[in-house]
């Protein structure tokens, strides 16, 4: 069995309208699913991604209106890595973010910045042969668009304790490290790959809140999901049973450093309940939650559509 890189990354926002404006309006992602947190359906679960909502580019947010800012610490993902296609794309994003009053800086041959709530991102030129996962934003040339996830950076005060689970159980690979404490991993299969990198945590403890990453999900083949659950349980991970999320099926557990992992199937996908051309336009509720529609319509925050408000002629 193989994991096909990162499936999605889920974070927390305290301001869904601002969140939509930044990720759709500024970064040019498509809002591909407007649904609810299935563990707390009174709050949004928003999915941004490429034009098709493919695994490998889905950044998702739970909205808890007004929640206090979070702070990444040990056992948390602190930065999301994205692929872009060229050095010219880095230049494009540096100018675009400046025009949007979003500070950025050149770091390690890439570009680093944070969203309005402090969630950090890093853009880097990708030179591999995996196809780009891009959204068709009206004012962002396709050649400069974000191309999907490159990986994530997490904090750990003892990376070695995660080595057995990552390497032997999950099949991550890592380059040889002189000190015997692996901090840089790759995870991939036949379609896509991603990196998973540990860095030394700050002295302050982490705290979940607005702008913090809740969990990172890795992509599995649907036919392998029960076997993955069995493997993780036998490895002592305290994995959940397979949970049907309607758009995919999921298993959750924490890796030894404390980061919450999900294994999510590549399908059925976001067109399970609405056509491709209408993704993200309306509130989508899995069948088990449809009876709550009238109640939720009056509770959930009204959201803008930056593709329309910024480009009314399109």
User: Cα dist. 151→61, 87, 226 in Å?
Assistant: 17, 19, 25
Instruction: Give 177-222 pLDDT, tens digit per residue.
Output: 544 557 999 999 999 999 999 999 999 999 999 999 999 999 999 9
Closest CA to 146 of 58, 207, 262, 259: 58
pLDDT confidence tier of residue 108, bands split at 50, 70 and 90? confident
Report the pLDDT value the prediction gives residue 109, as an integer from 0 to 100.
Answer: 85
Quote the mean pLDDT of the chain: 93
Mean pLDDT of the 30-46 span? 92
Report the pLDDT value the prediction gives residue 178, as an integer from 0 to 100.
Answer: 40
> What domains can be seen in the chain, in order of their start residue?
6-309 (3.10.180.10)
Instruction: Give 246-256 pLDDT, tens digit per residue.
Output: 999 999 999 99
Rg of the chain (C-alpha set): 19
Report the pLDDT value the prediction gives residue 85, as an integer from 0 to 100.
Answer: 97
Contacts of 48 (CB under 8 A, 6+ apart): 23, 24, 27, 29, 30, 31, 32, 58, 59, 60, 61
pLDDT confidence tier of residue 12, bands split at 50, 70 and 90? very high
> What global pTM score does this model have?
0.94
Report the pLDDT value the prediction gives residue 294, as an integer from 0 to 100.
Answer: 92
Instruction: Give 115-124 pLDDT, tens digit per residue.
Output: 999 999 999 9
Report the pLDDT value the prediction gives residue 250, as an integer from 0 to 100.
Answer: 97
Mean pLDDT of the 55-68 span? 96
């Amino acid at each position: 069995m193989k994991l096909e890189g990162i499936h999605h990354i889920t974070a927390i926002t305290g301001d869904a309208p601002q969140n939509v404006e930044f990720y759709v309006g500024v970064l040019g992602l498509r809002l591909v699913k407007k649904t609810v947190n299935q563990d707390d359906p009174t709050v949004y679960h928003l999915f941004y991604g490429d034009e098709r909502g493919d695994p490998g580019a889905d950044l998702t947010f739970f909205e808890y209106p007004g929640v206090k800012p979070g702070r990444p610490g040990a056992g948390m993902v602190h930065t999301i890595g994205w692929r872009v296609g060229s050095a010219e794309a880095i230049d494009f994003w540096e100018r675009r973010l400046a025009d949007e009053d979003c500070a950025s800086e050149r770091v390690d041959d890439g570009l680093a910045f944070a969203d309005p709530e402090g969630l950090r991102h890093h853009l880097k030129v990708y030179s591999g042969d995996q196809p780009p996962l891009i959204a068709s934003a009206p004012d962002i040339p396709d050649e400069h668009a974000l191309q999907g996830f490159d990986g994530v950076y997490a904090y750990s005060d003892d990376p070695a304790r995660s080595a057995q689970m990552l390497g032997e159980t999950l099949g991550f690979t890592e380059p040889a490290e002189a000190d015997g404490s692996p901090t840089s991993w790759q995870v991939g299969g036949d379609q896509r790959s991603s990196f998973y990198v540990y860095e030394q945590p700050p002295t302050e403890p982490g705290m979940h809140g607005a702008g913090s990453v809740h969990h990172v999900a890795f992509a599995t083949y649907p036919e392998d999901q029960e076997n993955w659950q069995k493997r993780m349980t036998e490895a002592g991970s305290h994995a959940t049973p397979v949970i049907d999320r309607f758009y995919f099926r999921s298993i959750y557990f924490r890796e030894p450093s404390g980061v919450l992992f999900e294994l999510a199937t590549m399908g059925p996908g976001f067109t399970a309940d609405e056509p491709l051309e209408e993704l993200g336009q309306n509130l989508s509720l899995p069948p088990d939650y449809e009876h709550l529609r009238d109640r939720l319509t009056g509770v959930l925050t009204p959201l803008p559509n930056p593709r329309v408000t910024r480009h009314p002629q399109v």
